[in-house]
Structure 1
Amino acid sequence: MAELIEPAVKGTLNVLRSCAKVSSVKRVVITSSMGAVVYSGKPLTPDVLVYETWFSDPAFCEESKLWYMLSKTLAEKAAWEFSKENGIDMVAMHPGWVSGPLLQPTINPSLEPFLKIVKGAESIPLMYYIWVDVRDVANAHILAFENPSASGRYCLVGRVLQFSEFVKLMRELFPNINLPEICRDDHPFASPYMVSRERAKSLGINFTPVEVTLKDTFESLRASNFFNI
């Protein structure tokens, strides 16, 4: 727990303290996570629409041992408090499960489930992912920096998609890849729900279709020799 929480909180505050010392810094855009938004303890059902006004509950995260979500929640809370006390114009971005083409030579944790599927996984996890393209996330940060009217929090989720739906799309995009047919268990990890995209769209974000993200992601993985199918 401490190895996640302390670096998240202290690292965020260290950056903000440095910014507070430089008068030419007019705005700070921080990268948070949907993990700091959706874990409030409220049921996430198909009729639920998550807004930027939602905040994850630290007590619920701790009780559920959701340490990554707790670290993001506490780091954002500390950032807002520090920014208010020191007159910093801060904007927070909350991306979901980030996917897309690689820039670095190593694979990041968010893409590991994809790689397992194409490299011989025997079953499909019954989970829902809140997908967003990495290029949309990067663009959102730039727009928040450049647009004077940008403020507060922005949820960055292109689509909520079950992993089995992802596999179905993969079959359509790459019919030569041998993908699993069997779901891992009888009950999904979480129910489907919706995330509001209105504030993100007001900033100028046009979310990349998940089909494009998946195609570009796997072509990038293949080009980097993570698999050779």
Structure 2
Amino acid sequence: MSGEGKVVCVTGGSGYIASWLIKFLLQRAYTVKATVRNPNDLKKTAHLLALEGAKERLHLLKADLLEEGSFDAAVDGCEAVFHTASPVSLQANADPQAELVDPAVQGTLNVLRSCAKVPSIKRVIITSSFASLPYNGKTLAPDVVVDETWFSDPAVCAEQKLWYQLGKTLAEQAAWEFAKNKKMDFVTIHPVFVLGPLLQPTINSSIEILFNLINGGAQEYPDAYYRSIDVRDVAYAHIQALEIPSASGRYCLIESNVHFSEVLKIVQQHYPTLHLPKKYGFLIILHAHVGPAI
């Protein structure tokens, strides 16, 4: 489907998924209004401006997740909005409620409030996460299928200090409630760890986990499985969520589920001189997440 003559908005435009989404949208002839923290920061935006079609059909606008009305100009005149912007952190936070949870919830609602003012918007697609599905206290066994009907339990997330998961879960719940009240056509995308080539100059959080194992001198690797999907598939899924009229609800994106030992074997095959950890010695709780941020 051609996007010629159609205008869409992408929040968190300089992020990992968003960059590929913008690239594909431009290839399909869409005009894209992308929000970033600072349109004049070429360290964050040069890769977007270099995309084919960017000179003619890409517009960068400043927006702040925590400022209500900040996205009004960006979504005005659009027929669809892709909300990919969300705070992400693998590190311990001094104040996780203020640094992760509140920005995720309020940022999502601020974007939706702006969208609700624009009659031309036909659909809103939000980049959520697999993290908002399985953390609910249910037993995960080989015969248990985690699907789009699952929601993480905020109480379980808070008790286990899973702040990223909590933010994603509360943000999605708030978004569905808002969309229901406003009768908004609404789709959420839930990828696991997102891997693949980078367009932006900095690595995303999913790749950072592998990068730290490879370059951090680790003696052990986690006794855990690495659920992943290619960033280009994630970006394309967002476009499908827009262009297929029957698309609705929640979509889980999972391409592979591999133990860390197998991941490191693949890395070793391609880079035999690397000194990689040879044994597992600890268990970590891996949560799926995306890495875009405005």
Q: Scaled by the length of structure 2, what TM-score is found? A: 0.61
How far the C-alpha of 1:189 sits from its partner, in A, is 4.1
How far apart in 1 are the matches of 2:259 and 2:103?
Answer: 31
**What secondary structure is seen at the aligned counterpart in 2 of 1:149?**
coil
Alpha-carbon spacing, 1:92–1:55, altered in 2? closer, same or farther (3 Å): same
Q: Counterpart in 1 of 2:179?
A: 83
Alignment deviations for residues 175-222 of structure 1 (CA, whole Å, 9 cap, x no partner): 33332212123xx4469xxxxxxxxxxxxxxxxxxxxxxxxxxxxxxx
1:184 equivalent to 2:281? Answer: yes
Q: Counterpart in 2 of 1:206?
A: none
1:163 equivalent to 2:260? Answer: yes
Q: Counterpart in 2 of 1:152?
A: 249
How far apart in 2 are the matches of 1:183 and 1:167?
Answer: 11
2:164 to 68, 79, 82: 68
1:127 to 224, 235, 253: 224
- Contact 1:128 1:161 survives alignment (8 Å): yes
Alignment deviations for residues 32-86 of structure 1 (CA, whole Å, 9 cap, x no partner): 0001011111122222221101110111111111111000000000000000100
How far apart in 2 are the matches of 1:180 and 1:67?
Answer: 28
Q: Counterpart in 1 of 2:47?
A: none
How far apart in 2 are the matches of 1:112 and 1:190?
Answer: 15
How far apart in 1 are the matches of 2:145 and 2:285?
Answer: 15
How far apart in 1 are the matches of 2:202 and 2:254?
Answer: 24
How far the C-alpha of 1:101 sits from its partner, in A, is 1.0
Q: Counterpart in 1 of 2:208?
A: 112
Unaligned runs of 5+ in 2: 1-95, 287-294
2:111 to 15, 21, 34: 15
Task: Specify the code of the residue in structure 1 equivalent to 2:233.
Answer: D
How far apart in 2 are the matches of 1:130 and 1:157?
Answer: 7
Task: Specify the code of the residue in structure 2 equivalent to 1:164.
Answer: S
How far apart in 2 are the matches of 1:118 and 1:64?
Answer: 28
How far the C-alpha of 1:17 sits from its partner, in A, is 0.8
> Identity of paired residues, percent?
57
Q: Counterpart in 1 of 2:269?
A: 172
How far apart in 2 are the matches of 1:121 and 1:101?
Answer: 24
How far the C-alpha of 1:173 sits from its partner, in A, is 3.0
Task: Specify the code of the residue in structure 2 equivalent to 1:138.
Answer: A
Task: Specify the code of the residue in structure 1 equivalent to 2:160.
Answer: S
Q: Scaled by the length of structure 1, what TM-score is found? A: 0.78
Q: Counterpart in 1 of 2:24?
A: none
**What secondary structure is seen at the aligned counterpart in 2 of 1:138?**
helix
1:101 equivalent to 2:202? Answer: no
1:47 to 143, 161, 165: 143
Higher helix share: 1
Which has the larger displacement, 101-110 or 24-33? 101-110
How far apart in 1 are the matches of 2:143 and 2:258?
Answer: 15
